[in-house]
Structure formats: C-alpha cells, structure tokens
Amino acid sequence: MNNATTDEYGLVTELVRSSNARGGQGQPSRIERDYVNPMRIMGLSLPPEYADDVRDTQFAFERAMSKLNKATQGIKRDLSVEIDKNAVPNAKAAWEEGRVALNSFFTILNTATGLKDELKLIPPSGPNQVAEYGRSIRRYNEFMKKTKLCQNRGGPALSQAWGQLMVSGYLQDSCGVEPMDQYFFQ
C-alpha cells in the first residue's frame, strides 16, 4: 500500500464489495470470504485461552478494513475523480492497522499450534517490504493461475479419474499445481 498509486485504491472497493441478491442470499465480500471467515472459524476451533484473543484480532481487522473502505470509498479504477487530500493518509493508516491486526492473528495461531514462525508476519511498509517478506509475487500468480485452471477442469479428483481412463498407461496430473509444502516454504 505504501507504493500504491491512487488508481490502485479503486481495487479496495472491489475487495470489500458484497453482491446482494434477492432474498438476502448474496455473496460475501472477498475480505469476508478470504480473511474474516477463516479467522472466525479458527477462533471457534481453538482452546478458550486463545479464542478470545483471536476474536479480538478479528474485530480489529474488521474495523481496519471498514476504515480502509471508507477512506477509499468513491475511488474507482480508471475513473478520474478528485481525491480528498485525507484519503491517502487515512487509507495508509487503515492498511497499517489491518496489517498489525493480521500479524497479531498469525502470532496467536503460531503460539496456539506450537509451530514457531509457521505463519510469516507481514513486515511494515517500506522499500524493502517485499524482500523482507520473502515470498515471490511471480510464484503466487503462477500458483493462482494453475489453481483456477485446475478448478475449471473439475478439480484434482476429477482430473485423476479422467487420467485413469486414459489408454496411454501413465497418469499425468492435469492440474499442474505444485505441492503445498513446496509453495508455502519458499
């Protein structure tokens, strides 16, 4: 977020937007689906001595994302609008607040599971943030592309079933997704 242009702030709106269908059966936002719901599930599955702390970090993360949404509200990608002078500092402050809350969640999970530094903390914004984090953006994009391709082919179970029906005699993984332990331990 530190090096982001204001044009990229329009993407935040897409992350927090939920689509509401008739009858209240809508799609949750991406933030809700990919972050808040897993936090809620983990909080409910952990022992009581950790559950309250997880819930507190979840609420702190939700508040930060709400502030980020408010700071970037009305900013759309490729739409030239005048941006309030407080929008950028408010967005950066909310982003930092969310990063701290997410790191707290990771620290609690690392402690609760006994796996020290299993979940890597997100370093503060700055010129060396990507280098300090140690994850490859290119590998992440390749992983997501292969995962989507695999899902479009019916998933790993269906691709294996089709592979067993092949006459060629060898089983080829049509998904091409690398094993998770190789990806997560870069």
Token pair in block for residue 68: 């980020």
Place of tokens 């008739």: 22
The CA-atom distances, in angstroms, between 103 and each of 1, 83, 110, 120 are 16, 30, 10, 8
In this prediction, residue 93 carries a pLDDT of: 92
- Following DSSP, what letter does each residue of 137-170 receive, concatenated? HHHHHHHHHHHHHHHHTTHHHHHHHHHHH-TTS-
Helix (H, G, I), strand (E, B) or coil at 27: strand
pLDDT tens series, the chain, 186 aa:
544 566 666 666 667 666 665 555 667 778 888 889 999 999 999 888 999 999 999 999 999 988 988 887 776 665 566 777 787 888 889 989 999 999 999 999 999 988 887 788 888 887 887 778 777 778 778 877 877 777 776 776 665 665 555 444 444 455 666 666 666 565
Cα–Cα distance for residue pair 132/130, rounded to 1 Å? 6
C-alpha span between 70 and 119 (Å, rounded)? 29
pLDDT of residue 107: 94
